[in-house]
Structure 1
């Protein structure tokens, strides 16, 4: 079982010195050959713990990420948009279930993971701690945040841990539909009335800095990337994913007449790299650590859901007992 309990911390590098040298060499040879590691296979403790941290955070991000868009289900413009958004939110929660199952194969229970989320011990993507003021905010998330997720997840689906890769393949297939839905919603507004175009431009202005931090801190600030890439848990660095995203989506954003709110954004013709205003990593760190505009609200909703659903979980474990459903 997972040995970290509710006080999970990254293992220090010197722990590797305590691993069986022969097994470690065999393990790394398998990864170098492109083999998948399965739950019953031997793996270094650091590999297991980094996987738990990464998959758990991904699962939390899916379940918390459903909240900013979910608030717009009742206010979506028209029945068609309402149905599409409802299906998307349902998919996101389903993605969380797949990922929690993948993390459980490494020895940490779902109950521990959700407890760590609610208590603020486990992290999730900082972008979901910002408010969605208008319908256009929801549309920008559906298109451009989900696009960033696909860039990350498509790369990592080629990684080394079998259960995570298989979950990502399923998730990416569904995210492709989310992306099309979001793109259609943004294009509809960007090519609509002046008020619609202004609304979606303002939403892009609000979300661009969050989009740029979505891939995580720059490589020079990241403390996990080197280890994750060494064992092919992560197949591209944060900055590589950010550059790939800019290559793909800057032209698409400009094509529909929207202005990216970064006056320094341009492609360096000599290097072929996009140059951009460095995100505010101090704000990023503050939000990740629980001090963002909506951190308390998001975790409050998650806590309420856990409390209200406790009787269902107890009933499933003991169907013959009598339980009183709590008042809403």
Structure 2
């Protein structure tokens, strides 16, 4: 077991904006802390986390602030449990992690492939069907799903929003909390991925679909894991009818036929907007997309022109 260290004192917020440049500095310090070589590292995603691929090959995930440290610890623990179940999920490196660097939380993972090839909706459905049968060991403390925990932080901590938009989003958040509290779920509750969609299923070097990004793992309603594929089809047109029917067939349940679907659909759309808003201050293309999405939330306009991120 390789022992890592905290490379900088923890802080509630990182000291610099979450950009490719600042996360590269974090990457260098974190790799030095655990003895990995960051030369020729490639930034492959910048969203909730900055995700780098090292030449090793290793994947490094950098969280925005240490406010996500508990999620990172849970993510590593869940990955190690799923490995014991031989479940096809991303594998955490056998080192002491996460590592705290410059007010950010960093984790290290086996690289699945040199290129990102996303899974299909039917593969998402099959992975979820198997995941939802698993029972975690008693010692693994998986928290209950808190649907809105990050949304409030994203609104209050983002100076990019206009006062009018921030007020609208806070009001909308309150409405969605009330609506969510009234939902009567049909499926039995249990372990869920928390952000299940084709973007979080990657094919490995042998072409096998593997579930990644486990930081949203929770105990909660299984409908939560099905809703994104449904709205990607019904609201955004990102999946075809054939793809969605294959997804529901392999999983065995169509969340769109559940009476609570419209409420849960609105919740997930709202969370997609607040998630993307984190990138708006340093990317004008993203800022334009967020403004468009907020207008759609205000007016009820079609979501068919929302761009995938």
Task: Decide: shared fold, TM above 0.5.
Answer: no
Higher helix share: 1
Find the structure with the greater CA-based Rg: 1
Higher strand share: 2
